[in-house]
């Protein structure tokens, strides 16, 4: 795709927007950047980009451009994006733009939960195999930044959110990974079917030459790619694990307990998805085993923080939806004092009540959703509602008996009080270390 002589407009000036602007400039386009924020938000935009702060719908309707690159944080069909799309020849996202200027192998990963861990594992295996494998996309580095390197990697592990997949047109992963699906982002999508349709777009450009790695039992449309399955419940899947050994077509290829630092059924699924993806690229099991030795899961995913007075403190801030919260609870062997809450996302929290009764001693809720969430949870367990995470940690400390764990697994996003789940998790870690 040639951009020379075209006008590329960037809508949204976060890191992915800046990366898209830099790539478009490199390819010879005239580039303009638009955002509803003030001029300070444009501080790191590349030199040569036309800056348009405080943009509104009227600016969008007046804009004419060849290509509009939309930030995944802006609702694709919302009035703001729709206004800018009116005079655009084509509307895409940053990952689509980057894919058009990348000649290597793409392993695309999507799913409601587990994307980041799986992406990190795939990246590590690809690196050990001498293929580069840089994790990018929704996790780590924007894809466009990777494409602009002087020597781009031969392969990338590309995490793809539903928001990013909404705006792909030609992006075609050589291997597409579908980890799981559960309700999420109901503040963005009109219904569950729309969310599922957005994530399913990861497969739309694949052909019979490509591979789809899919969790067993998932409901998906007919796929053109060759399908490889993984499961922790169906021994007949291509890849199967009991949470300890990983088996491929019946033969043990990895011991989670002996060969890795990863534990639990959810991590077994992540490892199987990663190994199946890399096997599809011809990487040998011994290379994968070597890559996984010493691998530590990303922060904020059931991360052990400390043990104080016989109580474990676990940081699962990355649990921004109910499926992730349920996975964290299922993996616990100690009685749980749960800290949950954050932004109101329109989710039905009643579905988690059976697990609360089974696993949780007390729930402490905080944030924007604190009181409504406490009202729901109180049907299953004793519940305390507070305003802030700091208060929640203090209260949880008083409620946790010896032999239990205090688990931060919010079950929703962090944007009511934090800039992201990372800041929320970092704050929890700091607060726990301040306990004495």
Report the DSSP pairing between strands 239-241 and 245-248.
Answer: antiparallel
pLDDT tens for 376-420 read 999 999 999 999 999 999 999 999 999 999 999 999 999 999 999
Provide the phi-psi class of 171: left if phi over 0, else alpha when psi is between -120 and 50, else beta: beta
Radius of gyration for the alpha carbons in the chain, expressed in angstroms and rounded: 22
Can you tell me whether residue 33 is helix, strand or coil? strand
Tell me the mean pLDDT in the region 89-109.
98
Rama region for 342: left / alpha / beta (φ>0; ψ in -120 to 50; rest): left
Q: In 237-262, which positions are buried (b, 16+ CB within 10 angstroms) versus exposed (e)?
A: bbbbbebebbbbeeeebbebeebbeb
* pLDDT at 114 > cutoff 90: no
Instruction: Average the pLDDT over 287-306 and give the result.
Output: 84
CA distance 349 to 340: 11
| pLDDT tier at 324, thresholds 50, 70, 90 | confident
Question: What are the angstrom distances between the C-alpha of 88 and each of 9, 67, 252, 355?
Answer: 9, 6, 53, 48
CA separation, residue 315 to residues 145, 182, 322, 399 (Å): 30, 21, 16, 17
What's the token pair of residue 31? 């580039």
The tokens describing 151, both together, are: 């020597």
Has residue 261 got a pLDDT over 70?
yes
Residue among 4, 23, 300, 1 at smallest CA distance from 142: 23
Q: What is the pLDDT of residue 270?
A: 93
Report pLDDT digits (tens) over 329-345.
Answer: 977 778 999 999 999 98
Quick one: pLDDT at residue 184?
A: 64
Mean pLDDT of 275-292: 97
Sign of the alpha-carbon torsion through 160, 164, 166, 167:
negative
- In angstroms, what CA-CA distances link 267 with 112, 264, 360, 430? 14, 5, 22, 26
Interior/surface letters 328-346, b for 16+ CB within 10 angstroms, e for the rest: bbebbebebbbbbbbbebe
Q: What is the pLDDT of residue 186?
A: 58
| Chain mean pLDDT for the chain | 93
What's the pLDDT tens digit per position in 11-36?
A: 999 999 999 999 999 999 999 999 99
Q: Are strands 155-159 and 132-137 parallel, antiparallel or unpaired?
A: parallel
Q: Which domains does the chain have, with CATH numbers?
A: 7-89 (3.40.50.720), 97-292 (3.40.1190.10), 303-433 (3.90.190.20)
DSSP string, 204-250: TT--TTSEEEEETT------SSEEEEEESS-TTSSEEESSSEEEETT
pLDDT digits (tens, 9 = 90+) for 36-87: 999 999 999 999 999 999 999 999 999 999 999 999 889 999 999 999 999 9
What does the pLDDT average to over 249-258?
A: 91
178-235: pLDDT as tens digits: 998 876 665 677 888 999 999 999 999 999 999 999 999 999 999 999 999 999 999 9
CA–CA dist 240, 199 (Å, integer): 24
Percent residues over pLDDT 70 in the chain = 98
Helix (H, G, I), strand (E, B) or coil at 339: strand
Residue of 167, 116, 124, 168 lying closest to 319 (CA atoms): 116
């Amino acid at each position: 795709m040639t951009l020379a002589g075209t006008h590329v407009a960037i809508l949204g000036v976060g890191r992915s927007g800046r990366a898209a602007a830099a790539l478009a400039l490199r390819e010879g386009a005239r580039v303009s950047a638009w955002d509803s924020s003030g001029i300070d938000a444009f501080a790191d935009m590349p030199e040569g980009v036309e800056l348009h702060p405080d943009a509104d719908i009227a600016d969008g309707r007046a804009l004419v451009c060849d290509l509009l690159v939309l930030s995944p944080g802006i609702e694709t069909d919302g009035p703001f994006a729709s206004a800018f799309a009116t005079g655009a020849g084509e509307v895409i996202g940053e990952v689509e733009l980057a894919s058009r200027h990348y000649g290597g192998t793409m392993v695309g990963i999507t799913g409601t939960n587990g994307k980041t861990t799986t992406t990190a594992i795939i990246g590590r295996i690809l690196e050990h195999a001498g293929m580069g494998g840089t994790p990018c996309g929704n996790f780590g580095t924007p894809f466009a930044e990777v494409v602009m390197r002087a020597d781009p990697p031969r392969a990338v592990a590309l995490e793809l959110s539903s928001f990013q997949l909404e705006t792909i047109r030609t992006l075609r992963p050589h291997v597409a990974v579908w980890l799981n699906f559960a309700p999420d982002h109901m503040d963005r999508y009109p219904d569950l079917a729309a969310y599922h349709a957005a994530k399913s777009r990861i497969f739309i450009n694949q052909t019979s030459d490509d591979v789809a790695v899919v969790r067993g039992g998932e409901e998906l449309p007919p796929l053109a790619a060759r399908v490889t399955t993984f499961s922790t419940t169906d021994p007949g899947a291509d890849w199967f694990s009991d949470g300890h050994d990983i088996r491929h077509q019946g033969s043990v290829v990895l011991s989670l307990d002996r060969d890795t630092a990863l534990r639990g059924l959810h991590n077994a699924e992540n490892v199987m998805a990663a190994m199946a993806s890399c096997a599809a690229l011809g990487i040998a099991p011994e290379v994968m085993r070597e890559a996984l030795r010493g691998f530590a899961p990303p922060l904020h995913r059931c991360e052990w923080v400390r043990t104080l007075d016989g109580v474990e403190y676990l940081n699962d801030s990355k649990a921004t939806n109910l499926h992730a919260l349920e996975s964290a609870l299922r993996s616990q062997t100690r009685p749980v004092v749960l800290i949950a809450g954050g932004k109101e996302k329109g989710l039905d929290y009643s579905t988690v009540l059976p697990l609360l009764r089974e696993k949780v001693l007390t729930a402490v809720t905080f944030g924007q959703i604190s009181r409504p969430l406490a009202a729901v949870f109180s049907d299953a367990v004793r519940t305390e509602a507070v305003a802030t995470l700091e208060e929640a940690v203090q209260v949880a400390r008083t409620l946790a008996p010896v032999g239990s764990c205090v688990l931060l697994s919010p079950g929703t996003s962090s944007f009511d009080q934090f800039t992201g789940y990372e800041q929320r998790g970092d704050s929890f870690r700091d607060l726990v270390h301040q306990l004495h």
